[in-house]
Chain A
Amino acid sequence: MSQENILAVENLVMHFGGIKALNDVTFDIKRGSVSALIGPNGAGKTTVFNCLTGFYKATGGKIILSAGGKETSIIKVLGEPFQVTDFFSPFAFFARLKYKMFGGSHLVNRAGLSRTFQNIRLFKEMSVVENLLVAQHMRVNRSLIAGILDTKAYRKAEEEALERVFYWLGVVDLVDSANRLAGELSYGQQRRLEIARAMCTNPEIVCLDEPAAGLNPSETEALTKMIRVLRDEHNTTVLLIEHDMGMVMDISDYIVVLDHGEVIAKGGPEDIKSNPKVVAAYLGAEEGEEVTL
């Protein structure tokens, strides 16, 4: 496991009852890259995302996130079932019990991975600024006493949080809408706000689930620029699911193609474009035609 890869997915398997959504998915994401996960509808892209971000507990395989100077096993922090050996080793037992009781997808975020959602999930009845303040929950002064007494340290932490809020609002071009309700924003603005909110948790890798869905060409252009800013100015690794091939080919350094729960191709944009398997998956192969690499 090298420090070069921020995310290593090995033999990831996800079954929903009898449905095998993911079958032996393996790929690595390089630190500081923009990577894309593409594939036809129903290929299992969002399932991979949900496994990575801890919303689904993978049936099998390994997901290792190396961020914040340590390696986190995403499947472990969600709480694994007890095994026979645990009952002989109290240490392992309590470690497992701890994750079982207090584990969950929030630990994945704290480990340095944040995400956005395909169907936007903003706090609609809260203002834009408050949306970004909630995202900084782990970085502000959460002491009840300090907050109620409004101490100096508390006020300083809040002020710093607000400065970060306005920095990110500047990046996503929403400063003018700072005091509007998140639910009142236009669709494109909501998408941008969601990215800003994910970035406010100070992640090392951000997973964007169809960030360009429903955006017009000029908005997509702006989004592409923003993603570059994330990578170049904040050293954030970006992993995205996207259907807009123009955009994917434009910004990605590395592309993983999924079909029917399996990785059918991975590599740079040029390789993927000319890969006959990928073309077949998207456009369909002629009857009887065998597609081989």
Chain B
Amino acid sequence: MSQAVGINFKKSSIDALIAGFMALVLFGPIVGVVLDGYGFNTEFGKVAWMIAAVAIGRFAVSSFLQTEKGIAMAFRYANNNDGVEVLPPGHKSKMVWVIPLVIVIGLLVPFIASKYILTVIILGLIYVLLGLGLNIVVGLAGLLDLGFVGFYAIGAYGLALGYENLGLGFWSMLPIAAIMAAVAGAILGFPVLRMHGDYLAIVTLGFGEIIRLVLTNWASFTHGPNGVSAPLPTFFGLEFKRRSRDGETFHEFFNIPYDSAYKYMFIYIVLFAVVWAVLFIKHRLVKMPIGRAWEALREDEIACRSLGLNHVLVKLSAFMLGASTGGLAGVFFATYQGFVNPSSFTFFESALILAIVVLGGMGSTLGVVIAAFCLTVLPEMLREFAEYRVLMFGILMVVMMIWKPRGIVRVTRTGFAARKGVVK
């Protein structure tokens, strides 16, 4: 290793040149050509700056990796074990302390945060629900579902259309939408049970698109692209409006001045409670026989069948429970927006939810929560970068996949203390 120390500047320069060229290919069309009406302006200066930054950065990294420290670091990265780990029996999770803290902070948020921040957090929580739902299907049962947004749409339109046609409010639609989405999950699940992997992904992709196209084109029922308005939740029958057509409103009842933030505060608190309930159920499910069966199905379907597990029911249960969580998220989305239309349920949403599950770590609950917040709150924070937002988002994902290919949070498995074996 004696010749390794000492920087080979020629190699670094070549690296920098290659990186600069790649940056030219990537940024040239995106940044260098700006549309202006029917024509376009070329901005060579900006592109030159970006390429220079990339090339200098690459040169610095390349040089650093040739020093002793850099070699040591690269070695550490090459050897870090990101795989699954079995916890020792009787392991006490640090979450025992973190969870109460998060609950307290979470309950304080609506009274501290501004209305804008509150809406961003609500969106984050909705994606947490979506992520948890898809995590059952993709992370635990290993069924690649690219049409998850279909269930989200069923929940959202369920609330809007249920209110319009049947007069059902938020509280009655919350469980009904979950059941509706679960039934839709079963309907989708049944014909595709014999497929796995890529074929399943394509069928589910089609399902998501079918739902969106039906919502767009069945104008007499769904009002097509014009969308439908959705009702707000009520607080024991009190509405969160400035004026109510029938009965009292929230601010009149409590004799406080009207504030449009009240409804967001209320949605936030209900959503917060629902997210915790789903987290708890999810936490129990993975330890229960059904959760084990899902994971076993992901690992080896043939072995599952040889052990007497009905793979049809195991897959269906994963689809249904995942879908019902997606339906819940849809109801919250509709009530939070006050309006739904088909453009909210495009394939991009499905891809985003899948990204949450993959980034968080397949099957990891904590990872999904963190990833959901990152992927929804981050784009909001990146608003200042305007048109580079999606680019930065993409770079972040690429970097994540290089350094943490198995997700943010390492998947752990419970350990069991040895006990006396008895057979009955």
Which residues from chain A sit less than 8 Å from chain B, CB to CB? 53, 55, 102, 104-106, 109-110, 114-115, 117, 121-127, 129-130, 133-135, 137-138, 140-142, 144, 147-148, 150, 160, 162-170, 175, 178-181, 197-198, 201
The answer for the CA separation of A115 and B303 in the assembled complex, in Å, is: 9
**Chain B residues with CB below 8 A from A126, complex form:** 292, 295-296, 299, 413
Is B424 within 8 A of A114, CB to CB? no
**Chain A residues with CB below 8 A from B422, complex form:** 160, 163-164, 167
Q: Residue A179 contacts which of B288, B309, B416, B419 (CB distance < 8 angstroms)?
A: B416
Is A104 within 8 A of B311, CB to CB? yes
**Chain A residues with CB below 8 A from B87, complex form:** 179
CB B138 to nearest CB in A, in angstroms, measures 15
**Chain A residues with CB below 8 A from B304, complex form:** 106, 134
Count chain A CB atoms within 10 A of each CB in B88, B304, B306, B423 and give the residue with the most: B306
Is A147 within 8 A of B284, CB to CB? yes
The answer for the CA separation of A125 and B288 in the assembled complex, in Å, is: 17
Is B308 within 8 A of A178, CB to CB? no
Is A137 within 8 A of B306, CB to CB? no
Does B84 make an interface contact (CB < 8 A)?
yes
Does B290 make an interface contact (CB < 8 A)?
yes
The answer for the CA separation of A148 and B279 in the assembled complex, in Å, is: 11
Is B295 within 8 A of A106, CB to CB? no
The answer for the CA separation of A161 and B369 in the assembled complex, in Å, is: 32
**Chain A residues with CB below 8 A from B6, complex form:** none
Is A124 within 8 A of B421, CB to CB? no
- The closest CB in chain B to the CB of A144 belongs to B290
**Chain A residues with CB below 8 A from B311, complex form:** 104, 106
Q: Residue B86 contacts which of A127, A133, A166, A175 (CB distance < 8 angstroms)?
A: A127
B405-416 interface code vs A (CB 8 A; 1 in, 0 out): 000000101111
Interface of A is mostly: helix
The answer for the CA separation of A185 and B424 in the assembled complex, in Å, is: 28
Does B256 make an interface contact (CB < 8 A)?
no
- The 23 listed contacts between A and B (C-beta, < 8 Å) are A55-B306, A104-B312, A105-B305, A106-B307, A106-B309, A106-B310, A121-B302, A121-B306, A122-B303, A127-B86, A127-B415, A130-B292, A130-B413, A137-B292, A137-B308, A144-B288, A147-B285, A147-B289, A148-B288, A162-B416, A164-B421, A178-B415, A201-B307
Q: Residue A166 contacts which of B280, B293, B305, B419 (CB distance < 8 angstroms)?
A: B419
**Chain B residues with CB below 8 A from A201, complex form:** 307-308
Does B420 make an interface contact (CB < 8 A)?
yes
Is A121 within 8 A of B300, CB to CB? yes
B380-393 interface code vs A (CB 8 A; 1 in, 0 out): 00000000000000
Which residues from chain B sit less than 8 Å from chain A, CB to CB? 83-84, 86-89, 280-281, 284-285, 288-290, 292-293, 295-296, 299-300, 302-312, 411, 413-416, 418-424
The answer for the CA separation of A74 and B307 in the assembled complex, in Å, is: 15
10 closest Cβ pairs, A-B complex: A167-B421, A109-B308, A166-B421, A147-B288, A123-B299, A121-B303, A179-B415, A163-B422, A134-B296, A167-B423
CB B87 to nearest CB in A, in angstroms, measures 8
Is B296 within 8 A of A129, CB to CB? no
**Chain B residues with CB below 8 A from A168, complex form:** 421, 423
CB A256 to nearest CB in B, in angstroms, measures 22
**Chain B residues with CB below 8 A from A122, complex form:** 299-300, 303
The answer for the CA separation of A121 and B307 in the assembled complex, in Å, is: 11
CB A32 to nearest CB in B, in angstroms, measures 18
The answer for the CA separation of A104 and B310 in the assembled complex, in Å, is: 8
Q: Residue B421 contacts which of A142, A150, A169 (CB distance < 8 angstroms)?
A: A169
**Chain B residues with CB below 8 A from A144, complex form:** 288, 290
The answer for the CA separation of A165 and B307 in the assembled complex, in Å, is: 15
**Chain B residues with CB below 8 A from A129, complex form:** 415-416
**Chain B residues with CB below 8 A from A105, complex form:** 305-306
Is B418 within 8 A of A175, CB to CB? yes
**Chain A residues with CB below 8 A from B295, complex form:** 123, 125-126, 130
Is B310 within 8 A of A123, CB to CB? no
Q: Residue B420 contacts which of A123, A134, A163, A198 (CB distance < 8 angstroms)?
A: A163
Is B84 within 8 A of A125, CB to CB? yes
- The closest CB in chain B to the CB of A133 belongs to B292
CB B146 to nearest CB in A, in angstroms, measures 23
Is A166 within 8 A of B308, CB to CB? no
- The closest CB in chain A to the CB of B310 belongs to A106
**Chain A residues with CB below 8 A from B285, complex form:** 147-148
- The closest CB in chain A to the CB of B302 belongs to A121
Is B296 within 8 A of A140, CB to CB? no
Is A135 within 8 A of B307, CB to CB? yes
**Chain B residues with CB below 8 A from A178, complex form:** 415-416, 418
